[in-house]
Amino acid sequence: MRHLKRTFKIGRTDSHKRCMIANMLKSLVDHERIETTVTKAKELRRHADQLITLAKKNTLSGRREAISRMMIRYNPLTSKQKRESKTDEKKRHYNTDRKVLSKLFDILGPRFVDRPGGYTRIVKSGTREGDRAAMCVISFLSESE
């Protein structure tokens, strides 16, 4: 019997699912709303709500847990790349993962301090043209809601 064994595979291997969820989490935090299929959005909502709960606590262990869940990689820059990135805005050599983490803990965490849960909203938006998959928009709630 599989009672209390909630794993939702979405038709992918475990490693593929973890990478997909991590990428979707980074995009959701960065843009605050993304369009995806309903099945993926329902799975993403679980992870996004847990991530916001970590951001509300704002501890070092919470930051490390968020880094692990979003699979954030800090790529070190060479001294030449550091100089170029300081002088030329177009030549940013590092990825935007650092900005995503700071946005999560500095903007989204304090936004939901008084809210006990339910930080995301899923709004269905029709079907996809190619395969008729049910599509939706998942977004974080605004401050007034």
DSSP states along 10-60: TTS-HHHHHHHHHHHHHHHHHHSEEEEEHHHHHHHHHHHHHHHHHHHH--H
pLDDT of residue 89: 66
- Residue 66, pLDDT > 70, answer yes
Contact at 8 Å (CB) between 97 and 91? no
Q: Residue 120, Cβ neighbours under 10 Å: how many? A: 19
Strand partners, 36: 136
CATH H-level, domain 14-140: superfamily: Ribosomal protein L17 (3.90.1030.10)
Q: Which amino acid is at 34?
A: I
Question: Tens digit of pLDDT for each residue in 133-144?
Answer: 999 999 999 877
Q: pTM for this one? A: 0.83
DSSP code, position 70: T
| 36 vs 96, higher pLDDT | 36
pLDDT > 70: what percent of the chain? 93
Question: Tens digit of pLDDT for each residue in 37-60?
Answer: 999 999 999 999 999 999 999 999
Question: Tens digit of pLDDT for each residue in 18-32?
Answer: 999 999 999 999 999
pLDDT of residue 90: 64
